[in-house]
Chain A
Amino acid sequence: MNWLIEFFGSAEYWTGDDAIPLRLLQHLEYSFLAFAIAALVAIPLGLLIGHTGRGAVIVVVSANAARALPTLGLLVLVVLLIGVGTLWPVLIPLIALAIPPILVNTYEGIRGADPDLRDAAYGMGLRGSQVLFRALLPVALPLILLGLRLSAITVVATATVAAYVGLGGLGRYIIDGLATKNYAEVFGGAVLVVLLALAVQTLFTLLSRVIVSPGVRQVR
């Protein structure tokens, strides 16, 4: 508690380079860009391999391997290779981290759809893409949203590492606090990240209320 009051009560964190709103915006920028790019890659790919069944094994195995990529290692490697002029050094590791949950859940959602549903859809004369978008996708939606949510939360929590190579975001408080043994600052930074993650969580819960049909029973 004292740490929280010390952190949030200090004027130092409300103005200038270290202001909370600024850090928050930076953090959101990295996270959102990485998440959006990952979703743009992973959802179409997941839909495609789930629907056609082609290349499924290789994609799922490499997605699992990608989960193992150490963010810190990838980050320092990319910075050494291309420098810090752009956002890419932080985006690349985050994208690598964000893709697997979305890809695997999209694939599983489409592939796992009831075979009778698929059969009936084709039998009524829906074409391949109509079967995918009108029958399978709505049913896979809860699982896809779960993947998106896990991915977004992981990205928000991991974007903190960007601070290690001198980039901004909420990780600054944690890295700087660690360097100066200012635990109030570390703690304050962590609390901000968790609050952000909870906001993301809430957003997805609301989103699934709106876009998932009540006829499709919720997956968790």
Chain B
Amino acid sequence: MDEPLVRWDWIARNWDNGGPTSVKVLLENHIVMAFVPVIAGLLIAIPLGLACARYRWLYQPTVGIMNVVYSLPSLALFSILLSVTGLTQTTVIIPLTLFSLAVLIPAVVDGMQSVPDHVRQSAVAMGFQPMRRLTRVELPIAVPVVLAGLRVAAVSSISLVSVGALIGQGGLGYLFIDGWQRQFYTPIVVGIVLVVALALVADLVIIVAQRLLTPWSRRRA
């Protein structure tokens, strides 16, 4: 094929053509399907992770289950859910939530373990009630570790949404299918660039959030 890698006119025509497969709409769908699972995952992982940190016997089985979840092929999960939830965004969101959990639960547990024992002890000694100690002392110290997990979860989620294209719900992943079927580079390149850019922006937002949330912690790239 002596076709150029990128045809700029295609981008101009298809960025916002009003149709359901305009790049802008795909991008919006992609953002929804990528971020809902991460946020849902975080909301579930915090209580579960705290429970695992408190009741140690929960930890091993939970990590075991999460390891299995982590190894599930996303495509298989999408396909099987398709028979239950049909051709909706939920079909993609549920499996991605599971993947987020597989990353975030260990991160929350590690974060709680990163609280030095003497800090916890002195909080107890100063008379912090358990709930207050958790929210005022332990969680803030755990934040850097949890956010490190959140970065991995967010980036993976953004990347994985595109696999959903194989079952007809993949946001920017549609561009890969489209380009493949028409043997046409431009949509594929545009898709890859946008997915990576989206991931970098998300990563950056989390890094900035961490700086703001934990001004006391050492700087780390």
Contacts and interface: CB of A to CB of B under 8 A. Distances in A.
Touching chains A and B, CB distance < 8 Å: yes
A99 interface: no
Contacts of B151: 64
Nearest to A157: B73
A41 B63 CA distance: 29
A40 to B, nearest CB: 23
Given A174-B73, A178-B167, A193-B73, A68 B68 contact: no
Given A65-B200, A160-B76, A186-B79, A73 B195 contact: yes
Given A65-B196, A65-B200, A190 B77 contact: yes
A183 interface: yes
A38 B175 CA distance: 27
A201 B67 CA distance: 9
Q: Chain B binding site: helix, strand, loop or mixed by DSSP?
A: helix
A183 B81 CA distance: 10
B128 interface: no
A198 B71 contact: yes
Contacts of A160: 73, 75-76
A193 B72 contact: yes
Interface of B: 1, 63, 67-68, 70-77, 79-80, 82-83, 106, 110, 151-152, 155-156, 158-159, 162-163, 165-167, 172-173, 175-177, 179-180, 183, 185, 188-189, 191-192, 195-196, 198-200, 203, 221
Interface in A57-86: 57, 60-61, 64-65, 67-74, 76-77, 79-80
Q: Chain A binding site: helix, strand, loop or mixed by DSSP?
A: helix
A174 B76 CA distance: 6
B76 A67 contact: no
B76 A72 contact: no
Given A57-B221, A193-B72, A68 B155 contact: yes
Contacts of A193: 71-73, 76
Nearest to B199: A68
A57 B166 CA distance: 36
B79 A161 contact: no
Given A56-B221, A178-B166, A70 B159 contact: yes
B79 A178 contact: yes
A98 to B, nearest CB: 13
A17 to B, nearest CB: 20
Given A70-B159, A186-B79, 12 more contacts: A68-B199, A72-B166, A73-B195, A80-B179, A80-B188, A153-B71, A156-B71, A161-B163, A174-B75, A197-B70, A200-B71, A220-B63
Interface of A: 56-57, 60-61, 64-65, 67-74, 76-77, 79-80, 150, 153-154, 156-158, 160-161, 164-165, 171, 174-175, 177-178, 183, 186-187, 189-190, 193-194, 197-198, 200-201, 220
A205 to B, nearest CB: 10
A220 B203 CA distance: 25
A32 to B, nearest CB: 16
Contact of A77 (B77, B79, B159, B192): B192
Q: Which of A73, A76, A154, A175 has the most CB of B within 10 A?
A: A73
Nearest 3 CB-CB pairs, A to B? A197-B71, A68-B199, A190-B76
Contact of B72 (A73, A74, A157, A200): A157
Contact of B155 (A67, A77, A156, A175): A67
A171 B73 contact: yes
Contacts of A220: 63, 106, 110
A197 to B, nearest CB: 3
Given A67-B199, A164-B166, A73 B71 contact: no
B71 A76 contact: no
